[in-house]
Amino acid sequence: MPKDDLKTAYRLVGTRPNRPDGLDKVTGRARYGADISAPGMLHAAVVRSPHAHARIIRIDASKALALDGVKAVITRADFPTGLTGEDWNLQENTLAGDVALYDGHAVAAVAATSKLLAQDAARLVEVEYEVLPHVIDVDAAMQPDAPVIRAGTADHSVPEGMHPNVVKYIEFGHGDLEAGFAEADLVRAQSYKTEATHQGYIEPHACLGQMGADGKGEMWVCTQGQWYIRRMCSAVLGTEASQLRVTPSEIGGGFGGKTTIFMEPLALALSRKAGGRPVKLVMSRAEVLRATGPTASASMDVKMGMKVDGTITAASVNFRMQGGAFIGSSPVGEALSCALACYTVPAVFHQGYEVLANRPKAAAYRAPGSPMAAFAVESLLDEMCHELGLDPLAVRLKNAAREGAKASYGPTYNRIGLVETLEATMAHANLKVPLGPNQGRGAAAGFWFNHGGETSVSLAIGEDGTVTVSVGTPDVGGSRASLGMMTAETLGIAYESVRVNIVETGALGVNEPTHGSRATFASGLAAVEAAKQAIAQMCARAAAEWGIDAEAVEWLDGAAVPAGPNAGKFPPMSIAEIGAKMGSTGGPISGHHEVTAGGVGASFGAHVVDVEVDPETGRTTVLRYLVVQDAGRAIHPAYVEGQYQGGAVQGIGWALNEEYVYGADGRLQNAVFLDYRIPVASDLPMIDTVIVEVPNPGHPYGVRGVGETGITPPLPALANAIAAATGVRLRSLPMSPPKVLAAIKANARG
């Protein structure tokens, strides 16, 4: 495998030091969202709709307010009116207005002196509903007789004559599609469905909010993005963003689901109504599953043309996705863009529809849209390869997107590592393991763009020469370690001499959340620039002391040194020496960099899974699992491997058992982890990983984002493996035992 085409050896980058948050987490000292308390604190509870779709006729909180210790009850009447666009969506989702749009939609909230009291009071809030017809399934929501969820939501893109639940239409492509299909030796079209799945983070949403009548506020919250919390809460409450200070807690997982708000404005609004007392609001798991963002469910058609040698001549996709009852929440655009991104195909055409349904407002979930698209495209590709007797991985390599190629979604690829990834996959020992009866092997490729985004980082030299880095991207996957390593590498000091803090909104300029696999990439890029600024200052301080030009000083191994013999003979001046006297040599030394980071490098991956399917029960056991993915460069390989494994595991859960089970009444039936079946540790083998490193030229250490691509190949890889094991092709997720067994039986009947 081409380990590193930059041929640079690093002291720290690529090593595996201890994680900086390890001791706090194993000793229970880390402070998560629900761990934050304040004097005089109240506890909140939320009243939620038991109906999938219902008009709110009346809310009577008098019995709740009569309880001793209940300090405030809020409804939508306590919020400003006149919001538009996504701000209105956020407000409406925070607290229903005229109509409850899904089972679990918040309709009122209570603050009281204890959590039990708040919960009792919430049960005493009387809400009168007029139940309306509802729709859950994306295809059903497009049918002429489907109940209209909100007329007038659709934007101008939607073709005339479509159901009002269809709110957005996207199409794009290039090349002559019909000519491409005509040129093919085999043309196949199939339809696929994926269920909504939840991010399943271990930590439920939790916050502590305080706001006075003057609109000044504080919030401590479990989030991937404190500035998003600030902006969204301020918009929903009609307050000024800079008057709200938001401090992120340690975070027990987000996976995209904590890049938005669900209940945070309720804590602030309750506090404001309760005279400014701080209000803690912690969701239960059932509330998380009923009322926070899963990803979208999808219904998809794919058509592909292939020559007998495996060349893909043309492909078209038509995707329908529901992301709940709000426009703009489904990732249909991303799904379309990712669908064919792995391949260079002369003619492609994409069509996508966003559809409203009476389900929770979808949030980002790890490579939003890409896993569903991959399920459809990579399943069909696999079927066609088998029909033509071709090796599916070799066909992927033959058609693989390369540097300089025009991507299916428009831009031209810079340096990318799909070819290297596929070659490493095909060379892996797992592919040579012989398979037994009822066992099958499946492979798939996957893609995610990655993201740069608004980024602001500060760095300060301490008086003992140690370094503090302040970043705005919460650490969901090891970014404190990777940022500390890159900073220490740049400064030439020990990793342990750098502390990376995730800071509150008052401490830096606006940062986007940790989303788009951007924290190590974008905050890393900014931290390196900030370190270079500090180095320049430290060189200048040394130059002034030595009485030589600043240009005659360079930075080497954590110290200022004369640049060559002509600069004079001075002993190295270490960062500790410079820090110790910086007060008298010109004042504090720091670095700061802010940027909307470009230069992002896409990450491609390939997965190979071996399964055994019990032909009598339809139960799938994952025997072995391989993830190969281009990291650009792995700053801390153990964390990169963890990201690869985590993405694979979430994808396995999505493929095999996770689903939202709704009753005929539109209520969610499985709002607990007992019945929302994410994989447990014993379900899985150790996930094998191979880190391919094709450095991203847009980052000083070659970093690509690594967090998201890993969830993209598992869905089709599992479907392809199950097809190989059973001879039965499943085109609808989850591939749960009842569905697999039914398919096996139907196949046996012929």
Partner 1 sequence: MRFHTPKTFEQAAAIAAGASGLTRFLAGGTDVLVQLRAAIVTPDDLIDLKHIPGVKDIARTTEGGWRIGIAVSGAELGRHAGVCADWPGVVEGMQLVGSTQVQGRATLVGNLCNGSPAADSVPGMMAAGAMVSVIGPQGNRAVAVEDIPAGPSRTTLLPGEVITAIILPPRGAHGGDAYLRFIPRTEMDIAVVGVAVNLRRDGARIIEARIALGAVAPKILLVPAAAQAIIGTALDAVALAALSAAAIAASTPISDKRGTATFRKDIVGVLVQRAARIAYTRAEGASA
Q: Contact residues for partner 1 (CB under 8 A)?
A: 119, 123, 286, 616-619, 656-657, 661, 669-670, 673-675, 677, 679-680, 682-683, 736-738, 741-742, 745
- Tell me if residue 666 falls in helix, strand or coil: coil
- In this structure, the strands spanning 467-471 and 498-502 are parallel
Half-sphere exposure of 502 (CA within 13 A, CB side): 31
160: which residues sit within 8 A by CB, 6+ positions away? none
Angle CA(148)–CA(153)–CA(158) in degrees, nearest 5?
A: 95
At 130, which helix (H) or strand (E)?
A: strand 126-131
Decide whether 330 or 736 has the Cβ nearer to partner 1.
Answer: 736
Is the CB of residue 520 less than 8 Å from the CB of residue 461? no
Nearer to partner 1, 69 or 615 (CB): 615
How far, in Å, CA of 505 to CA of 486, rounded? 24
d(CA 42, CA 113): 5
507 vs 196: CA distance, rounded Å:
37
**Three-state SS at 632:** coil
As measured in angstroms, the least distance from the Cβ of 285 to partner 1 is: 10
Interaxial angle between packed helices 714-726 and 737-749, expressed in degrees from 0 to 180 and rounded to the nearest 10: 40
| Min dist. Cβ of residue 721 to partner 1 (A) | 17
Of the pair 679, 707, the CB lying nearest partner 1 is at 679
Report whether 53 contacts 149 (CB < 8 A): yes
CB of 656 to partner 1, least distance (A): 7
Query: Shortest Cβ distance from residue 614 to partner 1 (Å)?
Result: 9
Judged by CB, which is closer to partner 1: 70, or 314?
A: 70
Q: Minimal distance in Å, beta carbon 740 to partner 1?
A: 10
Q: How far is the CB of 146 from partner 1 (least distance, A)?
A: 24
Nearer to partner 1, 117 or 400 (CB): 117
Nearer to partner 1, 426 or 742 (CB): 742
Structure tokens at 579: 């820090």
Phi and psi (nearest 5°) for 548? -125, 170
Is 386 or 677 the residue whose CB approaches partner 1 more closely? Answer: 677
Instruction: Please check whether residue 720 is in contact with residue 393, taking contact to mean a CB–CB distance below 8 angstroms.
Output: no
Q: How far is CA 329 from CA 90, 322, 359, 668, in A?
A: 11, 8, 11, 19
Of 260 and 657, which has the nearer Cβ to partner 1?
A: 657
* SS3 of residue 4 by DSSP: coil
Question: Nearest distance from residue 290's CB to partner 1, in Å?
Answer: 13
Report the C-alpha gap between 59 and 57 in whole angstroms: 7
Q: Are 36 and 504 in contact (CB under 8 A)?
A: no
Q: 553-556 and 498-502 as β-strands: parallel, antiparallel, unpaired?
A: unpaired
Task: Kindly report the number of other CB atoms within 10 A of residue 688's CB atom.
Answer: 18
Q: How far is the CB of 154 from partner 1 (least distance, A)?
A: 33
> To the nearest whole angstrom, how small is the minimum distance from the Cβ of residue 284 to partner 1?
8
> Smallest distance from the beta carbon of 667 to partner 1, in angstroms?
11
> What is the Cα–Cα distance from 749 to 746, expressed in whole angstroms?
5
Closest CB to partner 1 among residues 581, 745: 745
Whole-number minimum distance, CB 736 to partner 1, in Å? Answer: 6
Q: What share of the chain is helix, strand, coil (3-state, %, to 5)?
A: 30, 25, 45
DSSP state of 516: T
User: What whole-number distance in Å separates Cα of residue 571 and Cα of residue 45?
Assistant: 65
Output b/e per residue, 303-312; b: 16+ Cβ within 10 A. Answer: bbbbeeebbb
* Of 481, 468, 501, 495, nearest in space to 636 by CA: 481
Closer CB to partner 1, 100 or 655, in the complex = 655
Least distance to partner 1 from the beta carbon of 616, Å? 4
Nearer to partner 1 (CB atom), residue 63 or residue 307: 63
Least distance to partner 1, CB of residue 677, Å: 6
Instruction: Tell me how far apart the alpha carbons of residues 333 and 544 are, in angstroms, rounded to a whole number.
Output: 56
Q: Coil, helix or strand for 292?
A: coil
Pairing label, strands 603-613, 620-630: antiparallel
CB 337 within 8 A of CB 283: no
Tell me if 743 sits within 8 A of 733, measured CB to CB.
Answer: no
CA 436-437-442 angle, to 5 degrees, is: 70
Q: Which is nearer to partner 1, 26 or 680 (CB)?
A: 680
Three-state DSSP state, 354? strand
| Shortest reach from residue 657's CB to partner 1, in Å | 5
* Residue number, 591 or 679, with CB nearest to partner 1: 679
**Residue 535 φ then ψ, to 5°:** -60, -45
What order of strands is seen across the sheet that includes strand 620-630?
A: 439-448, 603-613, 620-630, 687-692
Residue identified by tokens 């439920």 is: 204
**Minimum CB distance to partner 1 smaller for 69 or for 737:** 737
Q: Shortest Cβ distance from residue 618 to partner 1 (Å)? A: 8
Taking the least distance from each CB to partner 1, the nearer of 610 and 659 is 659
Task: Give the whole-angstrom CA distance, residue 446 versus residue 640.
Answer: 17
- Closer to partner 1 by CB, 351 or 621: give it: 621
Which CB sits closer to partner 1, 429 or 664?
664
Task: State the minimum distance, in angstroms, from the CB of residue 118 to partner 1.
Answer: 13
- Contact yes or no for 195/297 (Cβ under 8 A): yes
Shortest Cβ 745–partner 1 spacing (Å): 8
Classify residue 147 by its DSSP letter.
P
Integer Cα distance of 430 and 121 in angstroms: 58
The distance of closest approach from Cβ of residue 94 to partner 1 in the complex, given in angstroms and rounded to an integer, is 24
Residue whose CB is less far from partner 1, 31 or 745: 745
